[in-house]
Amino acid sequence: MDTRPETAAPSGEMDRIDDGLFDIDSGHTRRRTFAIISHPDAGKTTLTEKLLFESGAIRLAGQVKERGERRRTRSDWMDIEQKRGISITSSVMTFEYDGLVLNLLDTPGHADFSEDTYRTLTAVDSAIMVIDAAKGIEAQTRKLFEVCRLRDIPIITFVNKIDREGRDPLEILDEIMSALALDVAPVTWPMGMGTDFRGIVTLNEDGPVTLTRNTKARSEHPGLQDFIDDEKLRADPVFGPSIEGLEIARMSLPAFDLDSYREGHMTPVIFGSAMREVGVRDLLEAICRFAPSPLPQPALPKPIPPAMPEVTGFVLKVQANMDPNHRDRIAFVRLTSGVFKRGMKLRNVRTGKDMKVTSPMFFFARDRAIADEAVAGDIVGIPNHGTLSVGDTLTETSNYTVTGIPSFAPELIRRVRLPDSMKTKQLAKALNDLAEEGVVQVFRPVIGSAWLVGVVGALQLEVLVSRLQSEYGVEVALEMSAFDTARWVDADDPAELDRFVKANQGDLAKDRGDRPVFLARNSWELSYAQKNYPNVVFSTTKERA
């Protein structure tokens, strides 16, 4: 039975609210743009590969032999990343399933919170949360979940590694409910776990159900009740207790409710094993049936409905030097409305400049291709020479400005020491490039000449040093700075801001957009300044406009 809604309810409603003009389906209702959130090692990479495999986007001939190559073809293009076996930069993979176009955005998997991850999550309409069945909700999962919750992003949960000894399924559901305050609705149920694993049952209430043990062993049963009432199964030492657990879940949990999921209150839960390809198809089907198509994009002067005819989009990420042999720079643009066509002229609202987009790209599992046409929800890569920055809005003619893509007050501030003064120019260019990519924030102190760099997580500093060296040939040392934190400062009254700026020259810097930033040595100094200047606003985030 196809329970897939014809058009996504939330975006459809929004279109009508807007002004009733936009009920054209440009193809965006066939898009599902999502990310996977998880703690390192939960199985995100394996699941990604299996999703691509199951959908036919990649073929695995000899899995083990191909593994090394497959890993390289993903976003693992950086040295540091390969050494650590983590994926630091996000990338996008587009594939098709069941007549829909799925855009999977990769979020960095390391435990260090990065702005990049946050921004990726501002560009998706839903997320898959992968949990290790033995470990439950881990720190990074919870952090990423909180980011999703800020925007009420709907989440489908995949409880992975049920082929290993894990926690009792009821206990896992309980943890999701209590730790994340989400209602749960299991979509599959495991029969045994670890060495006793006998397969997962699809919890289809009105039709035949399948018991899947691995890609080859599948059996059909006429219905769920029939399966539960099967005397022979109930007498089995593994199936018996599992069926009892399933009955408890069925009695005590609410039925799946699409609206509740779409509003971010309920998560469908799939028990499975990425490695054994169990539950992967159920996950794909859940994405197709439940996950929303592109939602209206928060913007000024008003939200952008995905069915609006004019093309709009925003830059969620800039990646430089993707291919070390070519100094290319690619801006990943999430389209938010209209039908984009290759060769189109788009305006960067920030600079007011138009650019002709001649070679936009789609990214697939293994390669890229020219994008001739794209719609809301799609991510296109636009090669450029530094004209596009993270957060930029692109439109055909109008002046919409996409909102909600923040940059964070840095928690670590370092002074950049350059031993070789002949490289001053290269350093300035490199820092500018990397700041544009969002790798670090760069500040220029009002007094003094050394650059200051600010990051949210310590790993970003390592990435900075490594990339300065490998991509720009600039060796730097990062030194402790006197400063502990930074705040963007502003005031309604320009005279008041001016007074503050003049009185605090020694503690002020400019960001790349020339906005004043107050640097504080400690929290005491910050609150002292706030007390003395009650009309100055000190912000921890700067919305990019």
Does 202 bind ligand GDP (CB under 6 A)? Our answer is: no
* Comparison of 151 and 164: residue with beta carbon closer to ligand GDP: 164
- Interface size with ligand GDP, residues (CB under 6 A): 17
* Comparison of 18 and 41: residue with beta carbon closer to ligand GDP: 41
* Contact stretch for ligand GDP (CB under 6 A) within 272-280, 330-338, 417-425, 451-459: 272-280
Does 45 bind ligand GDP (CB under 6 A)? Our answer is: yes
Task: Render 240-288 in DSSP notation, one character per residue.
Answer: HHHHHHHHHHHHHSPPP-HHHHHTTSEEEEEE-BTTTTBSHHHHHHHHH
385 labeled binding residue: no
* Comparison of 46 and 297: residue with beta carbon closer to ligand GDP: 46
Peptide bond into 383 cis (omega under 30): no
- In the bound complex, what is the minimum distance in angstroms from residue 412's beta carbon to ligand GDP? 25
* Comparison of 51 and 299: residue with beta carbon closer to ligand GDP: 51
Does 277 bind ligand GDP (CB under 6 A)? Our answer is: no
502 labeled binding residue: no
**In b/e form, how buried is each residue of 275-308, taking b as 16+ CB within 10 angstroms?**
bbbbbbbbbbbbbbbbbbbbbbbebeeebbbbbb
Does 54 bind ligand GDP (CB under 6 A)? Our answer is: no
542 labeled binding residue: no
Does 164 bind ligand GDP (CB under 6 A)? Our answer is: yes
- Gap between the Cα atoms of 315 and 328, Å rounded: 16
- Gap between the Cα atoms of 505 and 501, Å rounded: 6
* Comparison of 130 and 508: residue with beta carbon closer to ligand GDP: 130
Contact 278, 163 (CB under 8 A): yes
Does 40 bind ligand GDP (CB under 6 A)? Our answer is: yes
40 labeled binding residue: yes
Task: Render 68-124 in DSSP notation, one character per residue.
Answer: HHHHHHTT--SHHHHHHT---S--EEEEEETTEEEEEEPPP-SSS--HHHHHHHHT-
Distances (CA, A) of 250 to 26, 40, 41, 224: 40, 31, 30, 11
* Comparison of 43 and 445: residue with beta carbon closer to ligand GDP: 43
Which of 387, 378, 383 has its CA nearest to residue 323?
383
Per-residue contact string for residues 216-255; x = within reach of ligand GDP by CB under 6 A: ----------------------------------------
Which of 176, 130, 60, 66 has its CA nearest to residue 273?
130
106 labeled binding residue: yes
110 labeled binding residue: yes
- In the bound complex, what is the minimum distance in angstroms from residue 97's beta carbon to ligand GDP? 20
Pairing mode, if any, of strands 31-38 and 126-132? parallel
Instruction: Compute the half-sphere exposure of residue 293: CA atoms within 13 Å on the CB side of its CA.
Output: 26
Candidate residues 43, 190, 268, 457; the one interacting with ligand GDP per rule CB under 6 A: 43
* Contact stretch for ligand GDP (CB under 6 A) within 155-163, 349-357, 478-486, 521-529: 155-163
Candidate residues 10, 109, 296, 391; the one interacting with ligand GDP per rule CB under 6 A: 109
Does 141 bind ligand GDP (CB under 6 A)? Our answer is: no
* Comparison of 124 and 453: residue with beta carbon closer to ligand GDP: 124
Q: Which amino acid is at 152?
A: D
90 labeled binding residue: no
117 labeled binding residue: no
Candidate residues 15, 112, 125, 163; the one interacting with ligand GDP per rule CB under 6 A: 163
Q: Which helix (H) or strand (E) holds 348?
A: strand 345-348
Does 42 bind ligand GDP (CB under 6 A)? Our answer is: yes
Alpha helix (H) residue ranges in 350-504: 424-437, 459-472, 494-503
- In the bound complex, what is the minimum distance in angstroms from residue 78's beta carbon to ligand GDP? 16
Pairing mode, if any, of strands 100-105 and 31-38? parallel
- In the bound complex, what is the minimum distance in angstroms from residue 147's beta carbon to ligand GDP? 17
Contact 449, 416 (CB under 8 A): no
Does 38 bind ligand GDP (CB under 6 A)? Our answer is: yes
Does 282 bind ligand GDP (CB under 6 A)? Our answer is: no
Q: Which two tokens stand for residue 380?
A: 């296109």
**In b/e form, how buried is each residue of 102-127, taking b as 16+ CB within 10 angstroms?**
bbbbbbbbbebbbbbbbbbbbbbbbb
42 labeled binding residue: yes
Which residues belong to the annotated binding site? 38-45, 106-110
Which residues belong to the annotated binding site for GTP? 38-45, 106-110
Which residues are near ligand GDP by CB under 6 A? 38, 40-46, 109, 160-161, 163-164, 273-276
